Amino acid sequence: MKIAIIQMDIAFGDPEANRRYVKQQIEQTLAETAVDLFVLPELWTTGYDLARFDQLAEPGGEITIAFLANLAKQYQVYFVAGSIANAKKSGYYNTLIVINRQGEWVKQYDKAHLFRLMEEEKFLQQGDQDGLFMIDEQKAAAVICYDIRFPEWIRAHMLNGAKVLFVVAEWPASRIDHWRTLLVSRAIENQCYVVACNRVGADPKNVFGGHSMFIGPWGEIIAEAGDQAMTLTANIIWEEVDRVRQEIPVYQDRRTELYQHLAGYEKK
């Protein structure tokens, strides 16, 4: 499967400008090479303009879903469409969207772990659903930025059969070494592909680090971007995950009864 990561600068608080840019990048990429799936960064329509989510958040994500659905149907591609500002009756959410080749949305995942250093907890509600979905006949998972610091959350998805982990982010340049190390670690310990899309550029409070990456199930870096806007492409081979998991049988060697016993002490 050929995947393209759109590593972009985000026009702060300007959804229309960001949608125009994404459409342009998709069309330019497809004019040069065949792609099965596109990945976009976290909050790519608005950036971290949290204080204006009451104006910017889309009810149910309807505008952006319709925009991407048309592109998906036109070009017969999947979208792991980053995340958007989503307005629900219960509040505002940072919501990741997956759309299939037929233009149908197949997953919405609300960010489970809110990042206090960027004041998400002051403006957003945390999600409580998993990030599992299907790509054709293969199971995949997706999470958002800060989620990768919680390995137990990632492992829960892998235990449900996911072979690739998509990560969408606005990860600051000041901690880009954490970004790279955490992503490689998640790939090695879960014996899965990691496809990670970060943004570049800056907003009024932060500078973002880019370094979007494709990582294989051995933990090898297949392709990595720098800190400028670009589209990064690579192939993933589903059978490679099966081969690695058979060679070092981590999943069969887990001792869940031991882990559960230790978890019991945490509750005392």
CA distance 48 to 120: 9
- CA angle in degrees (0–180, nearest 5) for 166-97-175: 45
CA distance 115 to 117: 6
Distances (CA, A) of 34 to 23, 59, 215: 16, 33, 20
Of 58, 107, 120, 145, which is the active-site residue? Answer: 145
Those residues whose C-beta lies under 8 Å from the C-beta of residue 8, and which sit 6 or more positions away, are 18, 21, 22, 25, 40, 41, 44, 199, 200, 201, 229
**Tokens, residue 141:** 């998972």
Q: Does 192 participate in catalysis according to the annotation? A: no
Those residues whose C-beta lies under 8 Å from the C-beta of residue 45, and which sit 6 or more positions away, are 15, 18, 19, 56, 58, 64, 84, 85
CB count, 10 Å around CB of 207? 12
Q: Does 42 participate in catalysis according to the annotation? A: yes
Of 42, 58, 120, 170, which is the active-site residue? Answer: 42
Q: Where are the alpha helices (DSSP H) in 130-255?
A: 151-158, 176-190, 238-247
Q: Does 111 participate in catalysis according to the annotation? A: yes
Distances (CA, A) of 117 to 63, 95, 112, 122, 204: 29, 19, 15, 11, 15
Of 58, 107, 111, 197, which is the active-site residue? Answer: 111
Cα torsion at 31, 143, 191, 26 (round to 10°)? Answer: 0
Residue numbers annotated as active site: 42, 111, 145
